[in-house]
């Protein structure tokens, strides 16, 4: 019995040692985090013609949902659009092992505001846990090697966190938002927490989930102390909205033709 216990212990130690062996990390670069970790895809809802105002159509639940989703999208783009674009661009670049035994991607990215030189660094801090750091240099913004956002992936890259610092003056830098995410085969969950007063008040948040054909959003506006829930089916386009100023705060549903329907249908 003692021999079996010793053999089991030695085997476990060997497995842990192998998994933590730095050489396994330097053999090849880690897989980039999924783009879905910085993406809230609402195209099947916001891709519709968005009204400039929903005031004259307050009884049309679908129009109300599209209008509110457009507002939420502005919050999402303010915090996720740049990280999303830089992560996508990294996929077209070959990583190199640097002198610190870290994997590094160096590439250029052109935005509407100008050109950016990007340096992405991946560093393993534990078995299957990797830290990611995106640095940018932009002459037009007087930024040099500025830490734009950072993240950590675990569980073989299926979940993690991001912290977004933005393109503000590094001397006055502060965390603008934080993302906690999980991306499985057909299921995505993402939580965006607003940490600094910009487009909306600090303390606001967005919960997004995508399970098969169903997508849902929960948006809490801390400035207004108001929560909006929107859910829709990607295939049928049917869905519902729950908001304080729609249908007396009760669940309001629309059908496949975007017509108002009873939520019991």
> Is residue 226 helix, strand or coil?
strand
Can you tell me the distance from the alpha carbon of 209 to that of 216, in angstroms, rounded to the nearest whole number? 5
The count of other CB atoms within 10 Å of the CB of residue 264 is 6
Both tokens of residue 71? 């507002």
pTM of this structure? 0.85
pLDDT score recorded for residue 149:
95
Give the list of residues 6+ apart from residue 230 with CB closer than 8 angstroms, or none: 45, 65, 68, 69, 72, 216, 217, 219, 239, 240, 241, 242
Q: How far is residue 196's CA from residue 238's CA, in Å, rounded to a whole number?
A: 35
Q: What is the mean pLDDT of each run of 10 residues along the chain (265 residues)?
A: 40 40 75 96 74 57 94 95 96 94 96 92 92 95 93 95 86 84 92 93 97 94 97 94 95 95 86
Return the pLDDT at 173: 64
Half-sphere exposure of 227 (CA within 13 A, CB side): 9
Query: Left (φ > 0), alpha (ψ -120 to 50) or beta: where does 249 sit?
Result: left
**Cα–Cα distance, 131 to 122 (Å, whole number):** 6
Nearest by Cα to 178 from 168, 193, 189: 193
DSSP class per residue in 140-154: GGTEEEEEEEEEEEE
Give CA 224 to chain center in angstroms.
Answer: 24
CA dist 60 → 215, 230, 244 (Å): 20, 14, 15
Would you state the pLDDT for residue 190? 98
- Report which of 233, 225, 228 is spatially closest to residue 252, judged by C-alpha positions: 228
* Half-sphere exposure in the Cβ direction for 41 (13 Å, CA): 14
Listed by start position, the domains of the chain span 28-261
pLDDT of residue 58: 60
SS3 content of the chain, % helix, strand, coil (to 5): 30, 35, 35
- The Cβ of residue 262 has, within 10 Å, a number of other Cβ atoms equal to 7
Which residue reads 């100023």 in tokens?
245
Nearest of 259, 96, 101, 78 to residue 179 by alpha carbon: 78
What pairs with residue 180 in β-bridges? 161, 191
| Confidence (pLDDT) at 76 | 96
What pLDDT is attached to residue 46? 75
Q: CA-to-CA distance for 108 and 119, rounded, in angstroms?
A: 9
């Amino acid at each position: 019995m003692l021999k079996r216990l010793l053999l089991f212990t030695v085997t476990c130690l060997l497995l842990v040692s192998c998994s933590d062996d730095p050489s396994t990390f330097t053999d090849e670069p880690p897989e980039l985090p999924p783009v879905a970790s910085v993406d809230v895809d609402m195209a099947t809802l916001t891709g519709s013609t968005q009204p400039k105002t929903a005031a004259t159509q307050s009884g049309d639940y679908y129009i109300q949902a599209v209008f509110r989703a457009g507002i939420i999208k502005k919050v999402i783009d303010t915090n996720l659009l740049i990280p999303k674009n830089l992560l996508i661009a990294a996929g077209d670049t070959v990583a190199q092992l640097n002198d610190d035994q870290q994997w590094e991607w160096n590439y250029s990215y052109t935005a509407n505001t100008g050109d950016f030189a990007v340096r992405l660094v991946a560093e393993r801090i534990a078995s299957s846990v990797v830290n990611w750091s995106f640095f940018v240099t932009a002459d037009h913004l007087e930024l040099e090697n500025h830490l734009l956002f950072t993240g950590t992936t675990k569980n073989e890259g299926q979940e993690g966190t991001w912290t977004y610092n933005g393109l503000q003056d590094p001397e006055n830098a502060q965390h603008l938002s934080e993302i906690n995410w999980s991306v499985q085969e057909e299921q995505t969950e993402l939580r965006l927490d607003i940490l600094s007063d910009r487009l909306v008040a600090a303390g606001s948040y967005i919960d997004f989930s995508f399970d098969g054909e169903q997508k849902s959003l929960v948006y809490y506006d801390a400035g207004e102390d108001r929560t909006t829930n929107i859910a829709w089916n990607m295939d049928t386009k049917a869905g519902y909205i729950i908001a304080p100023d729609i249908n007396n705060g009760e669940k309001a549903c629309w059908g496949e033709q975007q017509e108002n329907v009873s939520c019991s249908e």
